[in-house]
C-alpha cells in the first residue's frame, strides 16, 4: 500500500465507502438509467440542469464524483464542470458526451477541468469500472492533500522554534550566560527534530515507493535487539522500564541496518507508550517463519486507533486538534518489513496489552 493510500481516511468520513455522486443531465431517462446502475453502491444526487447541479454542489461539499452531460441548455457540461472546481475542488469530474463534441472535451481535459469523458451510449460494466477508477483517484487526491497538510504542519513546528529563538538571541533577549545557553539548546533541539523529520520522510517515501535496495546478509536477531536496546538505554533507564528479551538463537537473511531501524522505531513507540516502571517484552521464534513480538502494558488502543496506527503522524483525531499520534516511525517500520516480504500487525487488549507482531520469511 502506498504512502498516500495509508494516509487516506476518506471512507471514514463518507461512511462504509458509500461515496456521494452527483449526476447532472437534462434528460430524465439518462438520470434514471444511471440511478439504476449506481444506487445500490453509492449515495446518488441528481440535477436536471447545470444551474441545479451547481446549487447542489454548494449544499453538499463531500461529493466525490460529478458525472455531467455535455449538451444541456443554458450551460454546457464543460462550463458547468469548470465552475464546479471553485465550489467542490476535490471532486472528480466525468463528462458524458457524443463524438461530435470531442474537440471541446479534449480542451477541457488539457486544462484540467475533467478527469475523463465517456461517450453515449455506454456499456454498463464499462461505466461501472470507470466510476470505480475515478473514486480511487479521488481517494488518492484526498490522501495526498492530507499528507501534504500534515507534513507542512510538522515541518513548521520545529522551524518556528529555530527561527523564534534565533531571532531572540540576535536581538539580545538572552542576557545572562544561563539564558544564552537555554536559547542555544532550544535552537539545537528544534534543528534535531527538523533533521529527524526530513530523514524519516525520505525513508518513508523511499521504502514505500519500492526504490529501496535490500542488502541482505545472514543476521543474528539477538545481536540486532541488543543493539537497539543499547541505543534506547537512556529512555529505558529514565522511565524505569523492565525489558524482557527471551530470544531464540539463530540467524536469518535480512538487511541488518534497515531491520534495526524498523525494530528500533517499534521499540521507541512501545517505550513511549509504556507507563513509568512498566514492562516491555521482545520475543522471537523461528519455525517455518520468523516471528518477533514486541509488547508493552501502557495505555490500550481502541479498534479505531489500531486501524490508524500505521498511518503517517496519527493514531486518532486530526491536525486541527493536534492529535498527531506516532509520527512517521511506525509507517517506516511497516514499509521496511513489507520490503522483506514480511508483515507487521498490532493487537491491543486487556489480556495481552499492546502487541506488535512481525512475521518474516525464515
Looking at the chain, the number of H-run helices and the number of E-run strands are 13, 12
pLDDT per position as a tens digit, 281-321: 998 887 778 888 999 988 888 888 888 788 775 543 433 33
pLDDT per position as a tens digit, 113-171: 788 888 888 889 999 999 999 998 888 888 777 777 767 777 888 899 999 999 999 99
Whether residues 101 and 235 share a domain: the answer is no
Q: Please compute, for residue 223, the number of CA atoms within 13 A of its CA located in the half-sphere on the CB side.
A: 9
Greatest extent of the chain over all pairs of C-alpha atoms, in Å: 81
The answer, yes or no, to whether residue 248 has pLDDT greater than 80, is no
Whether residues 111 and 238 share a domain: the answer is no
**Residues 6+ away with beta carbon under 8 Å from 42:** 18, 19, 20, 21, 131
Whether residues 183 and 309 share a domain: the answer is no
Number of domains present in the structure of the chain: 3
Whether residues 27 and 122 share a domain: the answer is yes
CATH number, residue 196: 1.10.287
CATH number, residue 76: 3.40.50.2300
Domain that holds residue 63: 3-141
Do the beta carbons of residue 300 and residue 316 sit within 8 Å?
Answer: no
How far is the C-alpha of 184 from the C-alpha of 69, rounded, in Å?
62
pLDDT per position as a tens digit, 33-49: 999 999 889 999 999 99
How far is the C-alpha of 241 from the C-alpha of 256, rounded, in Å?
26
Whether residues 135 and 154 share a domain: the answer is no
> What is the pLDDT at residue 35?
92
Among candidate residues 208, 235, 251, the one where a domain is terminated:
208
Whether residues 265 and 180 share a domain: the answer is no
The answer, yes or no, to whether residue 335 has pLDDT greater than 60, is yes
Among candidate residues 171, 188, 208, the one where a domain is terminated:
208
Whether residues 354 and 287 share a domain: the answer is yes
Instruction: Note the pTM of the prediction, 2 decimals.
Output: 0.56
> What is the pLDDT at residue 98?
72
> What is the pLDDT at residue 100?
61
Amino acid at each position: 500500500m502506498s504512502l498516500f493510500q495509508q494516509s487516506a481516511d476518506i471512507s471514514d468520513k463518507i461512511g462504509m465507502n458509500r461515496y456521494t455522486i452527483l449526476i447532472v443531465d437534462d434528460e430524465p431517462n439518462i438520470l434514471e438509467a444511471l440511478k439504476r446502475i449506481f444506487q445500490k453502491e453509492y449515495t446518488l444526487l441528481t440535477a436536471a440542469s447545470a444551474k441545479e447541479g451547481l446549487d447542489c454542489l454548494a449544499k453538499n461539499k463531500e461529493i466525490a464524483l460529478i458525472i455531467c452531460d455535455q449538451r444541456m441548455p443554458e450551460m454546457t457540461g464543460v462550463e458547468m464542470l469548470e465552475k464546479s472546481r471553485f465550489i467542490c475542488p476535490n471532486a472528480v469530474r466525468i463528462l458524458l458526451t457524443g463524438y461530435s463534441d470531442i474537440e471541446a472535451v479534449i480542451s477541457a481535459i488539457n486544462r484540467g477541468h475533467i478527469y475523463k469523458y465517456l461517450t453515449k451510449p455506454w456499456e454498463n460494466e464499462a461505466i461501472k469500472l470507470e466510476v470505480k477508477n475515478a473514486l480511487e483517484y479521488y481517494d488518492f487526491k484526498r490522501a495526498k492533500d492530507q499528507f501534504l497538510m500534515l507534513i507542512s504542519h510538522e515541518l513548521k513546528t520545529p522551524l518556528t522554534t529555530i527561527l523564534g529563538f534565533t531571532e531572540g538571541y540576535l536581538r539580545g533577549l538572552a542576557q545572562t550566560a544561563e539564558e544564552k545557553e537555554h536559547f542555544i539548546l532550544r535552537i539545537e533541539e528544534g534543528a534535531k527534530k527538523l533533521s529527524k523529520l526530513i530523514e524519516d520522510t525520505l525513508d518513508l517515501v523511499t521504502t514505500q515507493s519500492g526504490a529501496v535496495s535490500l542488502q541482505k546478509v545472514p543476521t543474528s536477531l539477538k545481536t540486532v535487539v541488543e543493539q537497539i536496546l543499547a541505543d534506547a538505554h537512556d529512555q529505558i533507564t529514565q522511565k524505569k522500564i523492565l525489558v524482557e528479551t527471551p530470544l531464540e538463537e539463530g540467524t536469518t537473511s535480512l538487511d541488518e541496518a534497515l531491520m534495526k531501524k524498523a525494530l528500533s522505531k517499534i521499540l521507541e513507540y512501545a517505550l513511549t507508550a509504556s507507563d513509568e516502571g512498566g514492562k516491555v517484552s521482545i520475543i522471537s521464534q523461528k519455525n517455518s517463519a520468523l516471528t518477533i513480538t514486541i509488547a508493552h502494558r501502557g495505555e490500550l488502543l481502541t479498534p479505531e486507533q489500531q486501524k490508524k496506527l500505521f498511518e503517517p503522524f496519527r493514531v486518532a483525531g486530526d491536525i486541527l486538534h493536534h492529535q498527531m499520534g506516532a509520527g512517521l516511525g511506525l509507517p517506516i517500520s511497516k514499509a521496511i518489513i513489507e520490503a522483506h516480504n514480511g508483515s507487521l500487525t498490532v493487537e491491543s487488549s486487556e489480556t495481552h496489552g499492546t502487541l506488535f507482531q512481525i512475521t518474516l520469511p525464515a
